[in-house]
Amino acid sequence: MRMIKWQNGTVITPDQTKLPLQEVTLEIKTVDQMAEAIKTLRVRGAPLLGAAAGFGVAIAAYQSKAKTAAQFLAEIEVAGTLIKRQRPTAVNLFWGVDRVLNKAKAVKGTVEQLKTAVIQEAQAIADEDAAQNRAIGKHGAELIKDGDTVLTHCNAGELATVEYGTALGVIRAAWEQGKKIKVIADETRPLLQGARLTAYELKRDGIPVTLITDNMAAHVMSKGMVNLVVVGADRIVQDAVFNKIGTYGVAVLAHEHNIPFYVAAPKSTFDLTRKASEVEIEQRKPEEVTHVGCQQTAPDGVAVYNPAFDATPLKYVAGIITESGVYTKKHFSKFNPKFLL
Ligand code: MRU
């Protein structure tokens, strides 16, 4: 199912903050609404953010009353800057904005022609992501054996992408091949993407899923209950994989228990010009830690540290499953900007 659609200047997508209790559809009509939806995680997950970024700029293009190409380019640049400012870690957000802006700059034509080019490029990002996730699923499913139990962290599913999912795309593909697999989903404190979104998606699709709290991962691994870990990514740099906070801990635990730890992500999530130390990790508000939902669970005024992502060094990663195949340890030493060209 398509998670994001363009309909005559309006972007249609589920409000992920309402799931799993309510299925609410957002109709995003302005760049400000798109910015708000990204900031508040109504729209979330790296590949979906790439498509949302493209469509966000497309809204500005669609609504533009610019008389000249220069004016038009200036307007959509402002929209792109606003969208990029919402979240710092997932590289797809920046990639999506830049891709449509660069397309517009490359077209030498009338304002109408530029508008069409921007909207078509945003649509192309979405269409390509859907196809890439199927390819990721196909490559990744080969790593999963009949009867395996796969642990995942956060939500790298259909909801986090345009269609099908990355980590959950791998699981979905294995399931569709008839492999009798099971999934263990970490709840993923503090925002519970595992409990709210991964458990929802898998349960809806009839894929056996068992929910655990994050601090149970070591226990289930030590009991031999996990054959493989697969997670998504927000940014893959030369020496590490950025993903939802807690991923690094899962990777270290998997290493200790000799369980292969895989990352599934499209190449739009690669940022091989950078090292981990150069990436900004989003810091989120204290209330996400001091409260569970609306219920306060910590004393007033306690100091809180709330990073949304962490960096897993590549030494813990058995392979990165992409649309072009699986990059394994033997490729990692070659991870430089030219590697994937
Ligand atoms: O803060 P979120 O919910 O946007 O974080 C999402 C994740 O960390 C996902 O694992 C990642 O974006 C991969 S989604 C295919």
**Any domain includes 243:** yes
Q: Show the domain range for 212.
A: 145-340
Q: Same domain, yes or no, for 214 and 315?
A: yes
Chosen domain end from 84, 99, 134: 134
Q: How far is the CA of 72 from the centre of ligand 1 (A)?
A: 32
- State if residue 45 touches ligand 1 by the CB under 6 angstroms criterion: yes
Q: Same domain, yes or no, for 10 and 99?
A: yes
Instruction: Pick the atom of ligand 1 nearest to 244's CA.
Output: 8
Cα distances (Å, whole numbers) of residue 292 to 45, 246, 254, 286, 287: 21, 17, 28, 11, 8
Is the pLDDT confidence value at 32 over 60?
A: yes
Q: Same domain, yes or no, for 190 and 313?
A: yes
**Any domain includes 230:** yes
Closest C-alpha to ligand 1, atom 15: 156
Q: Same domain, yes or no, for 123 and 160?
A: no
> Could you read off the pLDDT of 124-182 as tens digits, one per residue?
999 999 999 999 999 999 999 999 999 999 999 999 999 999 999 999 999 999 999 99
Q: Same domain, yes or no, for 103 and 171?
A: no
Q: Same domain, yes or no, for 240 and 306?
A: yes
Distance, CA of 111 to CA of 131 (rounded, Å): 30
Q: How far is the CA of 223 from the centre of ligand 1 (A)?
A: 28
- State if residue 47 touches ligand 1 by the CB under 6 angstroms criterion: yes
Q: What's the confidence (pLDDT) of residue 305?
A: 98
> Could you read off the pLDDT of 187-230 as tens digits, one per residue?
999 999 999 999 999 999 999 999 999 999 999 999 999 999 99
Chosen domain end from 105, 134, 163: 134
**Any domain includes 140:** no
Q: Same domain, yes or no, for 263 and 236?
A: yes
Q: How many folded domains does the chain comprise?
A: 2
**Any domain includes 291:** yes
Q: Same domain, yes or no, for 109 and 222?
A: no
Q: What is the CA radius of gyration of the chain?
A: 20
Model-level pTM greater than 0.85? yes
Q: Same domain, yes or no, for 175 and 65?
A: no
Q: Domain with 202 in it: what CATH number?
A: 3.40.50.10470
Residue 245 phi, psi (nearest 5): -50, 135
Q: What's the confidence (pLDDT) of residue 335?
A: 65
Q: Domain with 21 in it: what CATH number?
A: 1.20.120.420
**Any domain includes 282:** yes
**Any domain includes 199:** yes
Mutate to test the pocket of ligand 1, among 243, 263, 268, 285 (most ligand atoms within 8 A of CB): 243
Chosen domain end from 71, 100, 134: 134
Q: What's the confidence (pLDDT) of residue 337?
A: 47
Q: Same domain, yes or no, for 54 and 198?
A: no
Cα distances (Å, whole numbers) of residue 88 to 48, 92, 309: 15, 10, 10
pLDDT tier at 82 (50, 70, 90 boundaries)? very high
Could you tell me the strand order of the sheet in which 325-328 lies? 209-212, 182-186, 149-152, 228-231, 261-264, 319-322, 325-328
User: What is the overall mean pLDDT for the chain?
Assistant: 96
Please give the positions annotated as active site: 234
Q: Same domain, yes or no, for 123 and 181?
A: no
Instruction: Pick the atom of ligand 1 nearest to 193's CA.
Output: 3
Q: Same domain, yes or no, for 38 and 165?
A: no
- State if residue 243 touches ligand 1 by the CB under 6 angstroms criterion: yes
Mean pLDDT of 16-43: 98
